[in-house]
Structure 1
Amino acid sequence: MTVAGMSTTEQSVDAAGQAAGSSFYAAMRILPAAQRDAMFQIYSFCRQVDDIADSDGPRAERLAAMAQWRVDIDALYAGHPPARVAAYAPVVKTFGLRREDYHAIIDGMEMDIPAEIRAPDAATLDLYCDRVASAVGRLSVRVFGIPAPDGDLLAHHLGRALQLSNILRDIDEDASIGRLYLPREALLAAGITATDPETVAADPNLPKACAPLVAQALKHFADADAVMARHPRRLVKAPRIMSRYYRAILGRLIARGFASPRAPVRLGKLTKLLIILQYAFI
């Protein structure tokens, strides 16, 4: 038995249940069993620390909870893991997962805790994207078997492409909880001096502020594609599906535009199925 009295198999099923319905889930289901279980475990870890960051608990308690995750990860790599990360040990060993990538994810999620992020400068936004997305990618590419240095390069570009697409998609949702991830430089260049999230979301110049992020995301998608093109199809099936999901979302955001009011953008089941068929089986 392992975490919270659950067997490794039970944990995999539990993690898969948490992921079900997400874009992540379909991309991971096509993997061989060992890789699939490892990816669901990574997803479960990310969900747990993200839930801490997004909870409405006292900030001090959330920071303490993040600190405990760092202690637990360090104990895992020291060879005496506490119960909740005991099942990580074989996956870490099998796929050569790095402690610093787990720490980076914790650090990234923690950036939302001391105060709500509002119009960070471009360097801070890039650091945030690296920690909450590209660090997840650095764990993932080791599970996929994509060799270095291309594995880390793919994580760099695809992680940023996905996170920037998320930011562009979730402007209104983030504003509703007091967050604004659009960079300060892009806002000022568009003539927006406010940093209040809902004020910025309603500003008629918002499309101008979004344009640089759209361009950055498209460039990162293109660079990620170039990396994946250098490797056998079997190694890049899962990241290609994730890339195509989010590239389709970005395409719909571009077609919709960023002027207020903005209708939510989602992918339908048929679109998702066609992407899976194209990149997993055809």
Structure 2
Amino acid sequence: MPETDTNTTTDRAFFLRELERYGPACPQPSKSSENSAGISPQVPSRELSQTEASLYCRMWAKRQYENFVVASCLLPRRYRQDFYNIYAFCRWSDNLADELDTPQESLRRLAAWQQQFLLCYGGAPTHPVLRSLQTTIQQHSLPPQPFLDLLNAFQQDQTTCRYETAAELLLYCQRSANPVGQLLLQVADVHSEEALQLSNLVCTGLQLANFCQDMARDALKNRIYAPRSLWKPHGVTEEMLLAGEPTDQLREMLAAWVAEAQSYFESGWGIVHQVPAWLATDLELFVRGGVAILHKIRSQDYDVWSHRPTLSKMHQLQLLTAATLGRVRRRRTPPPTLVSRRKR
């Protein structure tokens, strides 16, 4: 059976306290005091100042474990808050999808969250994450669609728990992951089609790597992202995936999925040559983090059920050092595991 993750329990308890404090509240039956969507906006007991809202987003970016650094120390200071704001929006949206008691409650809260998000365009949101995000949206003229695509993917998680084919899953990734890269390119004022395609490859690779890493966690929520077309060649059944026992069939299937995720990083590595140097280092860190977690899965003999693979702070520091050297030398080389697998 999957191991118990005490950090996950702690993070959930913290989020639920913050949700009670700041909302979004669930939609209520229509009353005259409510807005046209029938949603009772949650008004904090004390509205945070703009500075406090910015610090709130930074806190979320700093406290959450990720396979990559959200905004490294090498990122110019004038852009760090933008990264924090976008990440905090993604984290709150993800938590609304994953940390509530029922899919029905998640859908209601996500609907309320979407209504509050739209206030970022010409309105006055009160939630600290959205208040700070509004500044980024205005400064960089970010369109609403990437954010709405992300929300749509989180809503889909409440109703779709199985995928038949890899093509179906990739359609999901186009909304669950790729919009983040699109937003970062917009912040960097990068608009080339080639950069967009490479960014999409990296973002999809990160999403697939996360699916591989979290197979046990997702199964506890009755979610199986591995498409059925991947199960069948390896003799894997739905019962095996939900049981959480590391069988030979599951390991073989996961090995194939890890290789597929790796191919997206190989194809998307060129993104580091398509963006300004200040952004290239952080994008390189994203790729290095994704490749490193795939390597960690291999080192565990493709057993993500007995122990969830993660990267230690020391490992992340090593990745930062490697990316920094590439910046200093003005020559960005792929991670060794990416190069070695390319030569096969």
Whether TM exceeds 0.5 here: the answer is: yes
C-alpha distance 260-173 of structure 1, shift in aligned 2 (>3 A): closer
Alpha-carbon distance, 1:205 to partner = 0.8
1:144 aligns with 2:184: no
Amino acid at match of 2:141: G
The CA deviation string for residues 243-269 of structure 1, in whole angstroms up to 9 with x for no partner, is 111211111212322258643322222
1:40 aligns with 2:93: no
Alignment of 1:45-60 (within 5 A): 45-60=89-104
The CA deviation string for residues 89-134 of structure 1, in whole angstroms up to 9 with x for no partner, is 331122232211000110111122136x235532331122222211
Counterparts of 1:100 and 1:196 in 2: how far apart (Å)?
38
Counterparts of 1:107 and 1:162 in 2: how far apart (Å)?
19
- Higher gyration radius (CA): 2
Counterparts of 1:31 and 1:261 in 2: how far apart (Å)?
35
Counterparts of 1:108 and 1:201 in 2: how far apart (Å)?
28
Counterparts of 1:57 and 1:263 in 2: how far apart (Å)?
25
1:214 aligns with 2:258: yes
SS in 2 for 1:76: coil
C-alpha distance 226-72 of structure 1, shift in aligned 2 (>3 A): same
CA contact (8 A) 2:224 2:241 kept: yes
1:108 aligns with 2:153: yes
Alignment of 1:155-174 (within 5 A): 155-174=199-218
Moved more, 262-271 or 247-256: 262-271
Instruction: Give aligned pairs, total.
Output: 279
CA contact (8 A) 1:172 1:201 kept: no
Moved more, 205-214 or 156-165: 205-214
The CA deviation string for residues 121-149 of structure 1, in whole angstroms up to 9 with x for no partner, is 32331122222211112112222343332
Counterparts of 1:61 and 1:265 in 2: how far apart (Å)?
30
Larger helix percent: 1
Equivalent position of 1:19 in the other structure: 61
Q: Which runs of 5+ in 2 are unaligned?
A: 1-42, 329-344
Alpha-carbon distance, 1:34 to partner = 2.8
Amino acid at match of 1:126: L
Amino acid at match of 1:80: G
Amino acid at match of 1:50: D
Q: Which runs of 5+ in 1 are unaligned?
A: none
CA RMSD, 1 decimal: 2.6
Q: Which of 178, 189, 192 is the matching residue for 2:233?
A: 189
Q: Which of 123, 129, 133 is the matching residue for 1:80?
A: 123
What TM-score comes out, normalization by structure 1 length? 0.87
Counterparts of 1:230 and 1:87 in 2: how far apart (Å)?
28
Counterparts of 2:304 and 2:317 in 1: how far apart (Å)?
31
SS in 2 for 1:82: coil
CA contact (8 A) 1:70 1:106 kept: yes
Alignment of 1:88-127 (within 5 A): 88-114=133-159, 117-127=161-171
CA contact (8 A) 1:178 1:197 kept: no
1:268 aligns with 2:312: yes
Moved more, 123-132 or 161-170: 123-132
C-alpha distance 201-226 of structure 1, shift in aligned 2 (>3 A): farther
Alpha-carbon distance, 1:54 to partner = 0.9
